[in-house]
Amino acid sequence: MRKKYGILLLILMFFYFNSGCINKNKVEEIVVLGTADLQGQMESYKDKNYLIGGIGRIATIINTEKKNHKNVIVVSTGDDLMNRFFHIFKGKAIFTLMSEAGYQVFAPGNHEFDKGPEIFANALDSAKFVALCTDLSIENSPLKGKCKKIYIKKIGSVKIGFFSLMTEEFPMVTQGKTVKLSGENFNEAEKAVKLLKDKDADIIIALTHIGEDKDKELAKKVSGIDLIFGGHSHEYLKKPLLVNNTLIVNGGEKGKYIVKIVLRLKNKRVISHDFKLISVDKSVKEEPLIAKKIEGYKKSFPKAIVLGYTDKEWDLTKDAVRKGESGFADLVNDLMREKFKADIVLNNGGAFRGSKVYPAGEITDERLKEIDEFSNYAYMLKLKGKYIREILEWSAARYGTGGFLQVSGIRYKIDLRKKPMRLKKDRATPLHVDFKGERVKDIKVYDAKSGKWLDLDDEGEYKVVSNSFLVNKEGDGYFWFKRYGKELLNTYSTFYSIIADYVAENKKVNPPEPDGRIKIIK
Is pLDDT of 220 > 80? yes
Is pLDDT of 484 > 50? yes
Segment 273-277 shows an average pLDDT of 97
Segment 256-261 shows an average pLDDT of 98
**Residue pLDDT, tens place only, 75-89:** 999 999 998 899 899
Structural domains in the chain plus CATH codes: 27-299 (3.60.21.10), 306-521 (3.90.780.10)
Which percentage of the chain shows pLDDT scores above 90?
Answer: 85
Is pLDDT of 15 > 80? no
Average predicted confidence (pLDDT) for the chain? 93
Dihedrals φ, ψ of 476, to 5°?
55, 20
**Residue pLDDT, tens place only, 113-162:** 999 999 999 999 999 999 999 999 999 999 999 999 999 999 988 999 99
Tell me the β-bridge partners of 227: 205, 247
pLDDT computed for residue 14 by the predictor: 54
**Residue pLDDT, tens place only, 379-404:** 999 999 999 999 999 999 999 999 99
Greater pLDDT, 50 or 69? 69
pLDDT computed for residue 427 by the predictor: 80
Residue 460's Cβ-side half-sphere holds a number of Cα atoms within 13 Å equal to: 15
- Which of 171-180, 282-291, 470-479 has the lowest average pLDDT? 171-180
Is pLDDT of 316 > 60? yes
Is pLDDT of 13 > 90? no
Segment 258-267 shows an average pLDDT of 96
Q: How confident is the model at residue 21 (pLDDT cuts 50, 70, 90)?
A: very low
Question: Cβ distance 346 to 424 under 8 Å?
Answer: no
Whole-angstrom distance, CA of residue 105 vs CA of residue 404:
46
Question: Cβ distance 207 to 164 under 8 Å?
Answer: yes
List CB contacts of 239: < 8 A, sequence separation 6 or more: 275
pLDDT computed for residue 339 by the predictor: 92
Buried b (16+ CB within 10 A) or exposed e, 442-458: ebebbeeeeeeeeebee
**In this structure, what is the dihedral angle of CA atoms 103, 107, 113, 116, given to the nearest 10 degrees?**
80
∠ CA 329-334-340, nearest 5°, is 125
pLDDT computed for residue 481 by the predictor: 98
Give the global pTM: 0.84
pLDDT computed for residue 508 by the predictor: 94
List CB contacts of 367: < 8 A, sequence separation 6 or more: 314, 354, 358
Is pLDDT of 7 > 80? no
Greater pLDDT, 25 or 253? 253
- Which of 218-227, 399-408, 483-492, 495-504 has the lowest average pLDDT? 495-504
Is pLDDT of 1 > 60? no
**Residue pLDDT, tens place only, 409-460:** 999 999 999 999 999 988 888 999 999 999 999 999 999 999 999 999 999 9
**In this structure, what is the dihedral angle of CA atoms 204, 206, 207, 212, given to the nearest 10 degrees?**
-140
Q: Collapsing DSSP states into helix, strand and coil, what is residue 420? A: coil
- Which of 16-30, 47-61, 97-111 has the lowest average pLDDT? 16-30
Question: Cβ distance 123 to 135 under 8 Å?
Answer: no
Whole-angstrom distance, CA of residue 120 vs CA of residue 143:
8
Q: Collapsing DSSP states into helix, strand and coil, what is residue 294? A: helix
Q: How confident is the model at residue 22 (pLDDT cuts 50, 70, 90)?
A: very low
Is pLDDT of 241 > 70? yes
Is pLDDT of 2 > 80? no
**Residue pLDDT, tens place only, 332-381:** 999 999 999 999 999 999 999 999 999 999 999 899 999 999 888 999 99
Segment 93-110 shows an average pLDDT of 98
Is pLDDT of 18 > 60? no
Is pLDDT of 20 > 80? no
Q: How confident is the model at residue 5 (pLDDT cuts 50, 70, 90)?
A: low
pLDDT computed for residue 29 by the predictor: 94
Which percentage of the chain shows pLDDT scores above 70?
Answer: 95
Q: How confident is the model at residue 6 (pLDDT cuts 50, 70, 90)?
A: low
pLDDT computed for residue 134 by the predictor: 98
